[in-house]
Amino acid sequence: MKKFLIVGLGNIGEKYTNTRHNIGFQILDALAKDEGADFVTEKLGDRAEFRFKGRTFILLKPSTYMNLSGKAVKYWMDQERIAIEQLLVVTDDLNIDFGTIRIKAKGSAGGHNGLKDIQEKLNTTNYPRFRFGVGANYSRGRQVDFVLSQWDKEETSMLIERIPASCKAILSFGTAGLANTMNTFNGKGDNI
């Protein structure tokens, strides 16, 4: 049975819940709930697993903090014998409009420290990533404060549509493949 490792990036701890930087955790929480899977604390992260259309999806929320995510990704790829093309890293992106999905087969870290650490630990930039746009509504020098702040009221109401679309994109990645998923979901933010 084909297995996929879906890694949601974020920071552990109550103070980071519902922050823009933790959208990876939020999306995986929603997907696990939809599929009736429960997260269990294991080595280097919280892990959930479910089957969908003959595929196994392993969801991982690293407990290493965002900037050290690569250690958990590498460990679970080795542990579960996951090929690099069956890895999908879900993260926030300041350079994309709020709620917009951008899935790519490879790319640079784009200034994202979590992706940078994964790139260093895997020794490649050639791994699929799912960037969720959080926008760039902050003043100069306030980037860190912005990503670590809570969603505002308008964003929170819009996430009600955006998160289910993101969950569908992840399931599509495992069942329809990367190219079809990019064609269907890239640039989209609304419910599909």
Domain boundaries, the chain: 2-185
| pTM score of the predicted model | 0.92
Q: Considering the chain, what percentage of its residues have pLDDT values greater than 70?
A: 92
| Catalytic residue (one of 21, 61, 112, 129) | 21
pLDDT of residue 191: 43
The Cα 155–Cα 12 span in angstroms is 22
Closest of 178, 173, 180, 182 to residue 31, by C-alpha? 173
H/E stretch holding 49: strand 45-52
Fold of 2-185: Rossmann fold (3.40.50)
pLDDT, tens digit, 9 for 90 and up, residues 96-146: 888 899 999 998 877 788 889 999 999 999 999 999 988 766 656 666 667
Q: How many residues does the chain have?
A: 192
Binding residue ranges: 16, 65, 67, 113
11-15, 49-53, 67-71: segment of lowest average pLDDT: 11-15
The Cα 47–Cα 51 span in angstroms is 14
Concerning whether 21 is annotated as a catalytic residue, the answer is yes
